[in-house]
Structure 1
Amino acid sequence: MPSETTSPHAGPTGTRTRRRRHPFRALALGIGLLALVGVIALGGYAFYLQRTVEGNIEREDLNAQDNAVVTISPDRTGANQPGEDADADGSVDLDGPVETDGETGEEQLDQDDGTAPIVGEDGEEIEVPQSEFVATTPERPAEAGEAMNFLIIGSDSRDLSVERGRSDVIVLMHINDERDRVDLVHFPRDLFVPIAGTGGSSKINAAYSYGGAPLLVQTLQPLIDVPIDHVVIVNFESFQAMTDSIGGVDVDVAEASPGFPEGVMHMDGATGLSFVRERYALSQGDISRGQRQQAFIKAIMTKALSRETITNPARLASFVDAATTNLTVDADLQVGEMRDLGLSMRGVRGDDIFFETAPWNGIDMHPVAGSIVLMASDQMDVLSQHLQNDTMEDYTDPVSPRSGFGG
């Protein structure tokens, strides 16, 4: 059971853990959504930009459906692993500049930058050798019609051909059958779930570290029980340019922090970057940071889909170029399909995009896996049913804590 005094950035004794910092990775959610939803939604108006999009995006074998072979092969390149470079108290030495609290000046560091271990039912770590298994895919329910599901992965890798990096942002994008609504479900990176093909459980982002996008697909699909149609991987490189390309955005700041008073605030790319990186001054840590990312994304999508942008060829071209410059998609996703989907979604605007967080009921300190987010299994089943039936407009989550860290 989670402790009432557990903090999402506290060590085993309650002290803040000193970890390596990987800047900007919290921005991947915004980039992924904007690169995909933005191009899809704008595609109906920007047919002439197809060549730009085609020239920018990269393609890889990212999706694993029925009978595909999934390889489990941990990628620990460039990642600090549990137990490496650790002090006697379990903290990790720093190797670069640190993030500081804007009010106190206290050093603030992202936690748990290594690949989380796989844990067996007995609570002990499982050694996972390189292996293979055959992928399976849930059947597409008839009730879903032609609804589509995209998996958006935010990776901190600058070059996927060299290292896959970490999937610190994981989002399921559900496009409804009528093509007039988009739901984005954010899965916290520390959500503790069974990892496909390993016989154990871990933080959900460990699936990507152990087997890339195909293993993450196979880990996520059993939770939601719907097939994932396409996969997209993005990084943070184009975030600032994408924001500035549309002249900045007006963001609704729901929870104040140093430099960001409550209320509507205009932000350029650099300001937005600072806004979505903050978590230590927020009431629910990473959960609150995810909500900030969602608010910023909403602001950019509203501006990007506005007449002001759509009717300005130069601004539109600049935005689409920035959104697709660092975009990798699965081998089956063609620009023509994106364009056709965009045409069918040409009526979508900012108010038609909705955000949810995968259901959780607490944060705990696992003796092996470290700080974990506890999944609310019954509520996850409810989410699954709405995805299967394409009824996300009726979905509510009364379980996930609205304040504090559960328990």
Structure 2
Amino acid sequence: MFTFIAQSEVSMKKHLKISLAVLLSFVIIAIGYTIYIYRAMEKTAEEMQITFEETEKKETAETGEIERSLTFLLLGIGDRPKIGDPGRADSIIVVSLNPAVKNALMFNIPRDSRVEIVGKDKMDKINHAYAYGGTEMMKKTVERFLNHSIDYVVQTNMEGLTQLVDVFGGIEVVNDFAFNQMDQYGRKKHHYDKGQIQLDGERALHYTRMRKSDPKGDLGRNERQRQVLTILLQKTASLSSVFKIEEILNIMGKNIKTNISFEEMKSFFLQFKKDWNDYQIESLEITGSNQMIQGIYYYHVSEEERDLVSAQLKEHAAAE
């Protein structure tokens, strides 16, 4: 009997050692994977980096938390079939984040808005600023238009949007009315039913591009763009995105450019992952009128409307 007990104790100790060894192995693997992901994130951040002249960005607190409001410019760059054409900023979204009141203000600048292109000394459609001088000219032109500084720019091409939606297994949106939309080559027709619908990457792209069948035109398209962006932000902040991190990093490295540093990315991710569900998202529309000048269509935004939007942006940033 004593021999049996002694053998059992030895057996238990052996199993305990094996269990501890297995547990330790998993811990080592987890640490190794964390280090790998960390380095992969750092490498991706380096690939995404762009810099601007005379840029003063707001500092985060010593704790790494954001204590002041920040303004982001989100640019969706449309591909052009012509070789050598840098494309246009087909989507121009401004987001003001105010952590003091847990509030986000999001609005589109209509891409056909006739504005002064900074650095070209001419009036033209605002989305042409990207074709003339890239991201920096686009940023300066938006700042002049809004009379408000931009802290960060996040620029992506449309292929990046398509891939990101697919990584998350598609998205669900509530569509206000049924419509058809052709692809950019006029070959494939996509049908969108009214109500809650499921979109893969390609269908999400054309969903955000449609304007001709929308009674609100550009304003309706702007609403769909903000709708898809909000859903992607929510998915990125969710726990499920952790398991997609490698795919997301690969997509970001190839398709996104930004002046957000790696350290800032970490601070933003940690804070908004914790607080994003508490944020209220508000939107506004920049109203204007259609205008034809020498046979070219523009969207005319009055000085009064620009002043109003600028004042709302400043008020949101200063709220406590």
Name the TM-score, length of structure 1 as normaliser: 0.57
1:367 Cα offset (Å) = 1.4
Match of 2:255 in 1: 326
1:356 aligned to 2:281?
no
**Greater C-alpha radius of gyration:** 2
- In 2, the alpha carbon distance for the partners of 1:354 and 1:387 equals 11
Q: Does the CA-based 8 Å contact 2:291-2:300 persist in structure 1?
A: yes
User: Is it true that 1:153 corresponds to 2:79 in the alignment?
Assistant: no
Aligned to 1:227: 149
Superposition deviation, residue 60 in structure 1: 2.7
Residue 297 of structure 1: aligned partner: 229
Alignment of 1:114-133 (within 5 A): none
Percent of residue pairs identical: 23
| 8 Å contact from structure 1 (residues 245, 318) kept in 2 | yes
1:273 partner letter: L
8 Å contact kept, 1:192–1:201: yes
Q: Please state how far the C-alpha of 1:317 moved relative to its aligned partner.
A: 4.1
Residue segments in structure 2 that go unaligned for 5+ positions in a row: 1-33, 59-66, 181-190
How far the C-alpha of 1:360 sits from its partner, in A, is: 2.3
Q: Which amino acid aligns with 1:59?
A: Q
Indicate whether 1:171 and 2:64 are aligned: no
Q: Does residue 1:200 correspond to 2:122, yes or no?
A: yes
CA distance, structure 2, for counterparts of residue 286 and residue 353 of structure 1: 21
Write the deviation string for residues 20-56 of structure 1: whole angstroms up to 9, x where unpaired: xxxxxxxxxxxxxxxxxxxxxxxxxx99744333333
Closer, same or farther: CA 323–380 of 1 in aligned 2, 3 Å: same
Q: Relative to 1, partners in 2 of residues 1:374 and 1:211: Cα closer, same or farther, differing over 3 Å?
A: same
**CA separation in 1, counterparts of 2:175 and 2:138?**
32
Q: Indicate the residue corresponding to 1:241 in structure 2.
A: 163
CA distance in 2, matches of 1:50, 1:157: 31
* CA distance 1:189–1:391, shift in 2 (3 Å): same
1:365 aligns with 2:295: no
Aligned residue in 2 for 1:263:
195
Could you say which residue in structure 1 is the equivalent of 2:135?
Answer: 213
Aligned partners of 1:177, 1:55: CA distance in 2, in Å? 28
Aligned 1:3-402 pairs, distance under 5 A: 49-56=37-44, 57-61=47-51, 63-65=52-54, 146-156=68-78, 164-178=86-100, 180-258=102-180, 259-307=191-239, 309-310=240-241, 313-330=242-259, 333-345=260-272, 346-349=274-277, 352-357=280-285, 359-367=286-294, 370-390=296-316
TM-score, length basis structure 2: 0.71
CA contact (8 A) 1:360 1:373 kept: no
* Structure 2 CA distance for aligned equivalents of residues 250 and 146 of structure 1: 33
The structure showing larger relative contact order (alpha-carbon pairs under 8 Å, at least 6 residues apart) is: 1
Alpha-carbon shift at residue 351 of structure 1 (Å): 6.1
Q: What's the CA shift for 1:185?
A: 2.1
Does the 8 A contact of 1:249 with 1:268 survive in 2? yes
SS at match of 2:49: strand
Q: Displacement of 1:371 after TM fit?
A: 0.7
Q: CA deviation at 1:321?
A: 3.8
Provide the C-alpha distance between the structure 2 equivalents of 1:238 and 1:347, rounded to a whole number of angstroms. Answer: 26
